[in-house]
Copies of this chain bind each other. A is one copy, B any other.
Amino acid sequence: MTQTADNDTPRRPSTGGSVVISVDAMGGDHGPAAIVAGIAQSAEKNPDIRFVVHGPKDELTRLIAKKRGLSERCEIRDAAGVVTMNDKPGQVIRNAQGTSMWSAVDSVRAGEASVAVSCGNTGALMALSMIRLRKLPGVNRPAIACLWPSRNPQGFNVMLDCGADIRADAPDLLQYALMGASYARNGLGVERPRVGLLNVGTEEHKGRAELKQANELIADAQQTGGFDYVGFVEGGDLPSDKTDVIVTDGFTGNIALKTGEGTAKLVGDFLKEAFAKSILSKFAAVLALTSLKRLQKRIDPRRVNGGVFLGLNGMVVKSHGSADSTGVSAAIKLAFQLAQSGFQDRLAARVAEAAANVEEAHALNASSTDGALS
């Protein structure tokens, strides 16, 4: 208890300083042209970023040359192979050498880039990142953290795990709490994040056995972890201002994330249909255009594009496979912010500090049966 939360309080660097980002140009649904367009968009907005771009050299050279001033800021790494969306993680690990994804992650491993960004297959990217970057000492399961539009002042909540691993036991959930709190501090500037554990009710007797154990472990770690634990939260709290970080296993997190995205899209579509119904409503829509654009901007999934892999020796940002140039640019912006805040070192320090606690917790984690009726 000698250390406080200060060791990863967000630091805004006074000198800009150039950040190098490694980008996998392949594997996205819209091909390398959309990704290069996203790089160009970021480059224009932020003069402090330089890029290492991975993919077939000739095609990338041609695409990059089309964007004014971009070639001076990009280094191209030739990689002929592509990991597709249908490749299984196991196959990828055996055959990935020579692919753009492998090459992009290896730039971080070699230390020539601070973060890798890829639109490719999530399972393959995580498997590859684990093999090439290795887990941080003390981390059992790495996690994917994603951002959720919320009513909080910072505009977003962090949820993890969003799908790195379908399993998580109590000590893993504790680790997610620590890593998520660190991310909220460094990525969102929340000084003392509040952490909640996702469950089917807020009462202590609810949920699976591992959730009841994690509930105690996380409560005990508040002081050393530099966060406040708010206890169990429910699906409806994901966008709420009750918590900044939501901890859950990767199965539940993935379902919640896609359900939220799907619901927002449904409401958006219904809204469009409602305004297209009659001449008067079409006229109203024209007048309401500014308001509707304001709404769209707040819930645009492209603005929150980027799942961050936590718990590895190096940073990797997973962009949506369907990301267009705006989405790719948002993922690069997130990568840049995390690199500038020195997040990776702070997270590593935090995890090392907690490793002893987690090991202790692992020892206590006797397997037990699920709870009764929720």
Q: Which residues of A contact B (CB under 8 A)?
A: 86, 88-90, 123, 126-127, 149-151, 163-167, 198, 200, 203, 205, 207-208, 234-240, 248, 250-252, 254-271, 274-275, 277-278, 280-281, 283-285, 287-292, 294-295, 298-299, 370-374
Contacts and interface: CB of A to CB of B under 8 A. Distances in A.
Contacts of A255: 198, 200, 234-235, 248, 252, 255-256
B236 A262 contact: yes
Copies in the complex: 2
Contacts of A200: 163, 166, 250-251, 254-255
Nearest to A374: B166
A257 to B, nearest CB: 7
A258 B235 contact: yes
Contacts of A291: 274-275, 277, 281, 284-285
Given A235-B259, A267-B295, A287-B288, 19 more contacts: A150-B266, A166-B374, A200-B255, A235-B258, A236-B261, A237-B262, A240-B262, A252-B255, A256-B256, A260-B262, A263-B267, A270-B298, A271-B295, A274-B294, A274-B298, A275-B288, A275-B291, A280-B287, A284-B288
A293 to B, nearest CB: 8
Nearest to A161: B374
A264 B262 contact: no
Contacts of A165: 373-374
Which of A149, A240, A288 has the most C-beta atoms of chain B within 10 angstroms of its own C-beta? A288
CB-CB nearest 8 A-B residue pairs: A235-B258, A236-B262, A235-B259, A284-B288, A284-B287, A281-B291, A263-B263, A274-B291
Nearest to A198: B255
Nearest to A208: B166
A298 B274 CA distance: 10
Nearest to A294: B274
Given A236-B259, A263-B239, A251 B374 contact: yes
Which of A150, A255, A372 has the most C-beta atoms of chain B within 10 angstroms of its own C-beta? A255
Contact of A374 (B123, B263, B266): B123
A126 B251 CA distance: 26
A252 B252 contact: yes
Contacts of A163: 200, 374
A357 B90 CA distance: 35
Given A236-B262, A274-B294, A374 B283 contact: no
Nearest to A262: B236
A281 B295 CA distance: 12
Contacts of A372: 89-90
